[in-house]
Amino acid sequence: MKKNIAIPEMGESVAGGIIAVWLKGDGEAVQEGDELFELETDKATLAIPATASGILTRLAAEGDEVTVGQVVALVDADGSIQTGSASPENGTVQERAQLAAVPDKLLEGLSPLVRRIVIEHGLDPVSIHGAGRGGRITKEDALTALESMIGKKSAPQSAAKTQTRVPMTRLRKIIAENLVLSKQSSAHLTTFNEIDMSAVMDIRKKYRDTFEAQFAVRLGFMSFFAKTCCKALKAFPVANAFIDGEDIVYNNRYNIGVAVSTDRGLIVPVIRDADRKSFAEIEQEILSFVTKAREKKLTPDELSGGTFSITNGGVFGSLLSTPIPTPPQSAILGMHTIQKRPVAVGDEIAIRPMMYVAVSYDHRIMDGKDAVSFLVKIKQLVEDPHQLLLGL
């Protein structure tokens, strides 16, 4: 009896994805629950398990675009193991010759697509760092190694080939499409301010060890800014709204998206109801997001439903930037690096840890006065965080 393996439902906003890598070979015996392949969507990379035990027959290849409900494999409970198409006997004479040049042991565990890249370009699998599950070498790892190898060649050697063309990943395509959509469908403006981080840094210094010992997570800056943004959004609801046709839709929940950088691109998991969560709960959730992002275990639900976003270019040394709101959101806060600078404090000059902040917003829905006042509110709360702690 054959069991269909179809692309499962993954939330209303996800219609499909790309088969990034097969984790089981064609003709291989699998058990129910075994992870068969990784599906890359515009939200996350998911491991799709077998829903039955038996012999696997692939119906789709790595790199194929697939949709929800599409059958991409069969599992035959009564089948016998067949030789997969990745066998060297099924390749061309050139492919078999290339394969012979690479020891079989080094090719074990590689997906057909990665194996092809390694063979065609003479890469050494041992020297490639695998970022996939369990240290598995992914397509991106192989392409990165290829780019590195080409870059190390001298100019005379590479004169005949001065460029390397690699396909964009689905996530990179979606990022590009969303950014262009955001710029084309809204009227972006950005307003700036600077924040004296002394008070927050004093609190972190005083309670850092106690906080970490009690909650098993570090007290970072993001929890302060997430809580601050929730207070500011309640004071300026238009920053938590979006345009739908000819209507303005005001969100009554405060779901804060937090930008996380991965080797595949920037993703924005969402802290739901951040206004109701403690500093510790927010920090724990952020840590969970970062861990899941690295392990490619974030779900589409964790990457959707945001009403406002925060991005922190400061972790990379950014002094100032103009972030782009995530559609359909109308605003985004940009945090930046903290620098000690001379500032006027009353009638005195003092050295303070200062951070430039930026709010980019959709001018169709948010006037400049509201945007400036919104950012000033954030500044006031961060510079006097006791208001957050006292619920003022």
Catalytic annotation, residues: 363, 367
Tally Cβ neighbours within 10 Å of residue 112: 18
CB 382 within 8 A of CB 225: yes
Torsion sign over Cα 297, 300, 305, 307:
positive
CA distance 13 to 212: 36
Q: Which residue has the tokens 């006791």?
A: 386
Structure tokens at 340: 């000690």
CA atoms within 13 A on the CB side of 25: 16
Alpha carbon distance 366, 324 (integer Å): 15
Token representation of residue 215: 């909650």
Instruction: Please count the residues of the chain.
Output: 392
Residue 219, SS3 per DSSP: coil
- Please give the Cα distance from 161 to 146 (Å, whole number): 14
Distances (CA, A) of 311 to 178, 222, 261, 315, 343: 16, 9, 10, 10, 25
Q: Are strands 308-312 and 256-258 parallel, antiparallel or unpaired?
A: parallel
Asked if 50 and 31 count as a contact pair (C-beta separation under 8 A), the reply is yes
Sign for the CA dihedral angle at 25, 30, 35, 36 comes to positive
Alpha helices in the chain, H assignment, sequence order: 93-100, 104-107, 112-121, 139-151, 170-185, 198-215, 222-235, 279-295, 368-383, 386-390
